[in-house]
């Protein structure tokens, strides 16, 4: 029996550290933020022609979409997410019904706060709740969402953003191990310190940036070394790799180590050490992984000029936001947004 209405909310995320590690079976330390995307769903009237269709209204854009439930065709931009979510849930065996969807949110698209993942997660949760489906655990649900992104949007992104959105909790980041599947909360107690994000002003889409190319380079490095993922890399193997694969692999190796160093710094309450790790992560993303841009560099400089103890580009790079750690008394540049860990995605009504 479908429900009469469902409403789901999924937050965006900040990744404290551990960048371009998720698709390399590595480690990351993200948290969910307060801002996110809300999707409401109502069944289309039974017996009407609309019963076999999905209609969607994107409130913030004042745009609409409509397509056949049984065979969504491809479409660009936000419509790709809606059609992909419907198609991938059906493909995974969930019995969907004709639906009217409404989407609204507070996350700027392309700003590096994972508006895409928040949209995918909120769509899936609302559609599943409307279909009265059992709760799907985070890893399988994140995989369905990531298929939306891989197959329908064209970005070969990993599972970091979806898991962060799904598993967020108050006052904690999550240490995610993408090989073992273990997700552990890590208390994020900052006292008078603050974390802020600053938009570089460059909108990015992973489908069109160098993201997919980086992913291919990591796969190539594994092929050369005969290992199944860069998690199996040890430092002695780096010399066997040609440039730029050696640099890409070194970033992944050292970034995984920085995640655990950050967990350690947090457990000691050593926030200056956390700041130094953010700086080291940024240098590596700029020089070894080569995903920075002049605008991201300018945003990092603006944060450091204001007294940040550490700042780094966040997410896939090639645009989006930077993250800064501000000690007491440091000045956040104009436009910076304070961020703190909040609860994960949830069904608000069913």
Catalytic positions, please?
161
- Which x/- pattern over 207-246 shows residues binding ligand GLA (rule: CB under 6 A)? ----------------------------------------
Q: Is 19 in the site for ligand GLA (CB under 6 A)?
A: yes
> Smallest distance, Å, CB 22 to ligand GLA?
5
Q: Please, are residues 153 and 116 in contact by the beta-carbon 8 Å criterion?
A: yes
158 binds ligand GLA (CB under 6 A): yes
Of residues 69 and 249, the one with the C-beta less far from ligand GLA: 249
Q: CA angle 297-212-215, nearest 5°?
A: 90
- C-beta separation of 218 from 23 below 8 A: yes
Using DSSP, state whether 297 is helix, strand or coil.
helix
Q: Is 199 in the site for ligand GLA (CB under 6 A)?
A: no
- Which segment (4-12, 17-25, 33-41, 298-306) binds ligand GLA by CB under 6 A? 17-25
Q: How many CB atoms lie within 10 A of CB 48?
A: 10
> Of residues 9, 23, 67, 78, which one binds ligand GLA by CB under 6 A?
23
Of 240-259, binders to ligand GLA (CB under 6 A) are: none
3-state secondary structure of 208: coil
Binding to ligand GLA by residue 9, rule CB under 6 A? no
Q: In sequence order, which residues have a C-beta less than 8 Å from that of residue 31 and are 6 or more positions away?
A: 13, 14, 16, 164, 168, 172, 173, 174, 188, 341, 342
Q: Is 157 in the site for ligand GLA (CB under 6 A)?
A: yes
Which residues, 306 to 345, sit near ligand GLA by CB under 6 A?
A: 315-316
For residue 294, the minimal CB distance to ligand GLA (Å) is 20
The 10 Å Cβ neighbour count of residue 1 is: 5
What SS3 string covers 128-186?
A: HHHCCCCCCCHHHHHHHHHHHHHHHHCCCCCCHHHHHHHHCECCEEEEEECCCCCEEEE
98: contact with ligand GLA by CB under 6 A: no
- Which pair of structure tokens corresponds to residue 258? 């920085």
Q: Which is nearer to ligand GLA, 69 or 259 (CB)?
A: 259
CB of 6 to ligand GLA, least distance (A): 26
Task: Give the orientation angle of helix 138-147 with respect to helix 78-91, to 10 degrees.
Answer: 130
Report the chain's terminal Cα–Cα distance, integer Å. Answer: 12
Cβ closest to ligand GLA, residue 42 vs residue 120: 120
Q: Residue 19 Cβ, how far from ligand GLA at the closest point, in Å?
A: 4
Stretch of residues binding ligand GLA (CB under 6 A), selected from 156-164, 221-229, 279-287, 334-342:
156-164
Query: Closest approach of Cβ 273 to ligand GLA, in Å?
Result: 21
Nearer to ligand GLA, 13 or 100 (CB): 13
What is the Cα–Cα distance from 135 to 7, expressed in whole angstroms? Answer: 15
Nearest approach in angstroms of CB 114 to ligand GLA is 6
Give how many residues touch ligand GLA by CB under 6 A.
11
Q: How many residues does the chain have?
A: 350
Q: Which residues bind ligand GLA (CB under 6 A)?
A: 19-20, 22-23, 157-158, 160-161, 206, 315-316
């Amino acid at each position: 029996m479908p429900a009469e209405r469902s409403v789901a909310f999924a937050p965006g995320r900040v990744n404290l550290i551990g960048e371009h590690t998720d698709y390399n079976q590595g480690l990351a330390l993200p948290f969910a933020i307060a801002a996110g995307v809300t999707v409401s769903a109502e069944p289309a009237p039974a017996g009407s022609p609309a019963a076999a269709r999905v209609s969607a209204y994107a409130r913030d854009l004042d745009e609409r979409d409509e397509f056949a439930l049984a065979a969504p065709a491809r479409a660009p931009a936000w419509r790709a997410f809606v059609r992909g979510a419907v198609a991938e849930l059906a493909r995974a065996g969930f019995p969907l019904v004709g639906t009217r969807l409404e989407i609204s949110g507070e996350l700027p698209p392309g700003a590096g706060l994972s508006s895409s993942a928040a949209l995918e997660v909120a769509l899936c949760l609302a559609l599943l709740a409307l279909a009265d489906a059992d709760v799907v655990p985070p890893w399988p649900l994140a995989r369905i969402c990531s298929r939306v992104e891989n197959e329908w949007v064209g970005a070969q992104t990993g599972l970091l953003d979806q898991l962060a959105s799904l598993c967020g909790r108050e006052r904690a980041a999550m240490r995610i191990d993408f090989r073992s599947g273990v997700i552990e909360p890590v208390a994020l107690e900052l006292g008078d310190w603050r974390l802020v994000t600053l938009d570089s002003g460059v909108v990015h889409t992973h489908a069109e940036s160098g993201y997919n190319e980086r992913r291919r380079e990591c796969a190539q490095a594994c092929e050369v070394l005969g290992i199944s993922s860069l998690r199996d890399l040890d430092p002695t193997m780096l010399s066997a790799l040609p440039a730029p694969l050696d640099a890409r692999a070194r970033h992944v190796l050292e970034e995984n180590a920085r995640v655990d160093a950050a967990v350690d710094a947090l457990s000691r309450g050593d926030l200056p050490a956390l700041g130094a790790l953010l700086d080291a992560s940024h240098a590596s993303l700029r020089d070894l992984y080569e995903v920075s841009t002049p605008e991201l560099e300018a945003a990092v400089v603006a944060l450091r000029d204001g007294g940040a103890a550490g700042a780094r580009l966040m997410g896939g790079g090639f645009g989006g936001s930077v993250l800064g750690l501000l000690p007491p008394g440091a000045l956040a540049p104009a436009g910076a947004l304070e961020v703190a860990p909040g609860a994960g995605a949830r069904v608000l009504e069913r």
